[in-house]
A and B are shown apart, each in its own frame.
Chain A
Amino acid sequence: MTAKTVLILGGTSDVGIATARIYAGKGWRVVLAGRNEAELERNTKDLKARYTTTDASYFRLDILDVEEFLEERLSPLPDTAICVVGLLGDQLLAQRSATRTRDILRTNFEGPALVFETLARQMAQRGGGILVGVGSVAGDRGRASNYIYGAAKGGFAIFLSGLRNRLAGTEVRVLTVKPGYIRTRMTASLKLPNLLTAAPDEVGRAIYRAAEITKRDVIYVRPVWALLMMIVRNIPEKVFKKMKL
């Protein structure tokens, strides 16, 4: 049997490399995509040194400039494509800057949606594939402190949900992953509660399991987040307004 291929968009991120290692460890061929070529090279080398059997490669992709990518057809078309691209940005700065707001919206929503739409079409033509989109609990409800990021992630989650429904009955599956807090470069400056914060490799393992084994539709990496967000979603807006979360 030839090895399956996984494409990881955001292959230079902490979650990207952690997920790549999980797949590579299971014998998959890994293709990383991202903006920083030196980092892509560094991560590809890491995978090759760790797992003899693994074929790892990369290509440059700027999620804010995907036109060219949409024209091409990847060869081989990956069996699974995972998007872990994310830009947290700074809510306060973004409120005063259209450029910053646009970057957050386009990085977290527009780029990933365009890429997935194209991959979904190609996978459907082929007759199978798995698309994994990493959303965020921030997309579950708009909060004062991060609604621009939240809106983009929430938009991506709705996109994934619609795509999943459109493709129901075909062999293409769509998984939405909501990690909650992750200890990464993106959150290094934040003080995060241990109980609610996952390590990158924990997210990678959860993705692999939900995508390839249990074949779920939507997961929270730590179950406690499902409960927490159910509560957050159900607080009446009148009360929520005063909470200034």
Chain B
Amino acid sequence: MKIGGWGNYPVATTDLCSAYTPDAMQALLAGDRAILARGAGRSYGDAAIGIDRTVDLTRLDRFMAFDETSGLLTVEAGVMLSDIIATLLPRGFFPPVVPGTQFVTVGGMIASHVHGKNHHRDGAFGRYVENMRPALADGSILDCSKTTNETLFRATIGGMGLTGIILTASFRMRRVETGLIRQETLVATDLDEIIKHCEASRDWPYTVAWVDGLAKGSKLGRGLVFRGDHASCDESEPGRNTLETRHRPQKAMPFFFPEGMLNRLTVKAFNEIYYLRGASNRANIVDWERYFFPLDAVPEWNRVYGKRGFIQHQCVIPKSRSRDALGMLLERVSQRGNPSFLAVLKLLGPDDDGLLGFPMEGYTLAIDFPADTKSLALADKLDQIVVAYGGRNYLAKDARQSRSTFESGYPNLGAFRELRRATGAKRKFSSYQSERLGL
């Protein structure tokens, strides 16, 4: 059948099956055919589509153990982050790192080494994994951690499922007093100011910035910086059960938007309103869902880009050269006037937890585009800037970068390829992305 990623671009043919019990993996790994694990399908491009077979792991969704004293949680890899929060926040625990959506699996979070708004301080998800058990190309299941089979461990963090199929993982949850976030919003009128605000917010656990991708000239890079921290009990309204996880009524995007609905004018209007609203809303307490996962409020928001799908260009530029590169990237985007709902800027910290991990110390910029010819051409231009400034693109978002762009950004690629060859993973685990990039 044909499946896509979250961006619905590309859509490609694969044999899709499901694993219902942990034992099922042995049979799936026997024989010569290649396979690829897929979690919730929230990577944007072709990372979770197997060239031959794709195995859906979302039914391996059992918790295995939770130690309330240490916060150590052991789960099967198909467990959803949303399930973990709903189950453990009422008991006073929150995941150490969360990406922009809670509808991802633990296996997917490790394979993509996802980062969150706290990366500048706390690193990405892989840093918190104490132990995991991947099934390897020969069908064996190996225990690995920072101290046992450490090479495989490091390659599997951020390894896009290309070293083995992660079956179970243990990681440490964080204690919180409430499910609320104390948030402050800073207004930045241009790029220099937004960078200044990001730097000034380094001591805050969570920071992220929204950039108006259509602003030009002296307004280039204008936006809002959101910084937050877990609120303590004293800060919440008395009598309110602040660890509750209530379900907001969700209205799914019922159909694909007709193409053309998202145009320069509608996005410009949206951005203008968003900017002004942020400017008038400086400090407040919001619940965890609104703070971490605002887009989850509209399930299947990806359909807003129509059937042709969309791409997200997310790169990171080393810190010392960020200012210039960001200026050039934003200029390109605003010149093109490409309707982009989301341009997200974030300061990342140092990170060498995964061999192919995306984060490095510097600024990451993420921009959505409809997957049309003009935008794809623009993305190629953006890649030239990324390469020139020593940056790299995020594999979990990537659907289209060239092999040379990819190779210039990942210095540990040689070691990763070697491990794939040596363990037989190269033949056993392959995705459309791994073929495209020669992984």
Contact = CB atoms under 8 A, between A and B. Distances in A.
Interface stretch (B63-71, B233-241, B262-270, B375-383): B63-71
B32 interface: no
Given A38-B23, A185-B20, A46 B87 contact: no
B429 to A, nearest CB: 23
Interface of B: 18, 20-23, 59, 62-66, 68, 73-74, 87, 91
Contacts of B66: 49-50
Contacts of A214: none
A42 B74 CA distance: 13
- A: contact size bracket: 10 to 19
B151 to A, nearest CB: 30
B406 to A, nearest CB: 35
A101 interface: no
A52 B91 contact: yes
Contacts, number: 32
Contact of B62 (A42, A185, A188): A42
Interface string A33-46: 00000110011011
19 contacts: A17-B62, A39-B21, A42-B21, A42-B22, A43-B62, A45-B63, A46-B62, A46-B63, A49-B63, A49-B64, A49-B65, A49-B66, A49-B73, A49-B74, A50-B66, A52-B68, A185-B20, A185-B59, A188-B18
A46 B64 CA distance: 5
A14 B23 CA distance: 16
Please list the 4 inter-chain residue pairs (A to B) with the smallest Cβ-Cβ separation, ordered nearest first: A49-B63, A46-B62, A49-B66, A46-B63
A contacts with B: majority SS: helix
Contacts of B87: 50-51
B48 to A, nearest CB: 19
Contacts of A50: 63, 66, 87
B23 A45 contact: no
Nearest to A47: B63
A190 to B, nearest CB: 13
Contacts of A46: 62-64
Contacts of B64: 45-46, 49
Report which residue of A38, A46, A51 has the largest number of chain B beta carbons within 10 angstroms of its beta carbon: A46
Contacts of B73: 49
Nearest to A17: B62
A92 B18 CA distance: 24
Contacts of B63: 45-46, 49-50
